Structure 1
Amino acid sequence: MRRSTADRPVRTLLSPWTLERTRGRLAYWAVFTLVFVLFTAAFVTPLIWMVLGAMKTAPELAQLPQAVLPERFDLGTYGEAWDFMELAGYFRNTVVVAAGAWLLQLAVCVPAAYALSKLRPILGRWILALMLATLMLPASALLVPTYLTITDVPLVEVNLVNSPAAIWLPAAANAFNIYLLKRFFDQIPTELLDAARIDGAGNVTTMVRIVLPLSRPILAVVSIFAIVAAWKDFIWPLLVLQDPAVQTLSVALQRFEQDTPINLMLAGLVLASIPMVAAFLVFQRQILAGLTAGGVKG
């Protein structure tokens, strides 16, 4: 007779017997606290320095050794940076690029993952393997062929330079997100899909009405990955968005670097980071749920 999941022993780095001892518990919490503090400091310290540095004046930032806190906490630097670099237009461009990349990526990756997971086409495993093989290629190796394709799109013969579509189209087929979606779709019971087909639902209807509502956690994860990747990307937008009027924040901030005081540049970097940090804080529960989802309860 097979044991239930609840009866199976849980494998951990430390045995329950060790944690029951006072010395073992103290050692465990000491190591955990030390690692937590070190990792938190490594990730948070640069952000705090950037936020506080934006409030300092340029002479304060040039001082050595540099004071941790500014002489006075002046939030006016952020407003000055917003006006000096005209960030409103670049924010608008970045939102358009990120939103389009997100929507097009979902429109391509979700059907592709659903087909590989549930429709099981001929040579489906080989197709997935070839997709994953593209993840082994360095991004720099794909820049030249992708750029040549964008400058003269096959069949339609259109030049997409200085168009948001130059970023949307290459981002549409993301092998990593397809793999994440496929692994999640594999956990959805086939009986649910069979019941929908018995009721007369086609493949598209089954995907939209059955699979997608059950896949909200992983869709949230893929959405965050797609938006963040488009928001922070620099090399590709630098190549295809040559007109300053259509450039994204990452490219515009680099262009302003030489002629902008360092405190205003730090303020611009903080402003550019706020949307992604806020998005993570708002959707962190959905992100963690999607990453840890191992199955669907029927």
Structure 2
Amino acid sequence: MNFGTEDLRSFIAVADEGHLTDTADKLGIPQPTLSRRIARIESALGTELFDRVGRSLVLNTRGTAFLAASRRIIHEVDAATTEVHRLMDPELGTVRLGFMHSLGTWLVPALLRQYRSQHPNVQFELVQADALSLAEAVLNDALDLAFVAPAPQLEGVAWHEVSTQQLAIAVPEDHRLADAKSVCLKDLENEPFVGMYPGYGIQILLERLCAATGFAPKIAFTTMEMTTVGGLVAAGLGIALLPMGDDRLIPDGVALVPLEPRTEREIGLVWREAQAENSPPVRMFKDFVLRSGRW
């Protein structure tokens, strides 16, 4: 194609006006320049688009068909240009943000509430998934940023800790450990665990902690929702590793027994190390998180 969007805009203007001289005046360009633009399109298409009637130009059937397509093209170009400018505006752009399901009850809503109070027009595309999938999505540029725990052991992603949660063992309220002040993992080797699917942060932690103690947890049930984990524990179907500090994850009938020694899960923000310069809205939100300190 040997013509550009300015040629198309000129063609549309001539089609609407029906006269070269008047159109050139409205566009503020010399008539020969306008004529060359029309000629460039007709040469590229290999046909004339106008019938000359006196001093007027009237679209022929080919020109009428091309006019409809030209309007669509210009509309798409204008919309795309507007979208690019919007994305480059830190106050109007979009941040693709991922987070683990368990962070949707406290950390992420609190952060977004504070951020949107200062930047109300920034848009967020929110994605919930397991920790490993989120880190891989950031690495593959399917997400801009993500909150995950623990720190991903994945080359190519950067990590910044934003919060911690003490870890405990969730047991049914009639369990022998329900009233204990603390518990060591080595004392739970023969207990059935309610676990989560591979790649979920709490499951990664459970497997790491048990491996460091010298055993693999016996998984009785597996789920993808931490609230379901609590429900299965309350039903007496096993014990589980869960974070403390979020009562919404713990149903009635469950007691939390802190791990001894004290153990925490580290929650952090991840982004792609090799990422080209972030778009302004992403960079601004990331800087906000990094400056905010502990949550």
User: TM-score, normalised to structure 1's length?
Assistant: 0.21
Q: Whose radius of gyration is greater, 1 or 2?
A: 2
User: TM-score, normalised to structure 2's length?
Assistant: 0.21
Answer 1 or 2: which has greater strand percent: 2
Answer 1 or 2: which has greater helix percent: 1
- Larger relative CO (CA 8 A, sep 6+): 1 or 2? 1
